[in-house]
């Protein structure tokens, strides 16, 4: 668990030190719809069944609770 938090913290630090300032007129690529840092709306169904068929879930915008999901 400590190792996981260390890797996570190191990633956070890395984003602070390794990036450049991108001007608004240079955001053509990062503003592309496909670059969004979240799942497409339609993927919610897959995220839900994965949450039920696997013992792990969360940190990706899917179901973490509510309802039975027991089939």
Residues of this chain, 1-60, that bind other proteins according to CB under 8 A: 1, 4-5, 7-8, 11-12, 15-16, 18-22, 24, 26-30, 32-38, 40-46, 49-50, 52-60
Q: What is the distance between the alpha carbons of residues 47 and 1, in angstroms, rounded to a whole number? A: 24
Pick from 57, 38, 41: nearest CA to 49: 57
Q: What is the distance between the alpha carbons of residues 35 and 42, in angstroms, rounded to a whole number? A: 16
Site residues for other proteins per CB under 8 A: 1, 4-5, 7-8, 11-12, 15-16, 18-22, 24, 26-30, 32-38, 40-46, 49-50, 52-60, 64-68, 70-71
């Amino acid at each position: 668990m400590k190792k996981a938090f260390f890797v996570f913290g190191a990633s956070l630090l890395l984003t602070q030190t390794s990036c450049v300032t991108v001007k608004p007129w240079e955001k053509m690529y990062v503003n592309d719809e496909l670059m969004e840092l979240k799942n497409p709306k339609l993927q919610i169904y897959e995220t839900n069944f994965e949450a039920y068929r696997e013992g792990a879930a969360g940190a990706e915008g899917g179901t973490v609770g509510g309802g039975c999901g027991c089939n």
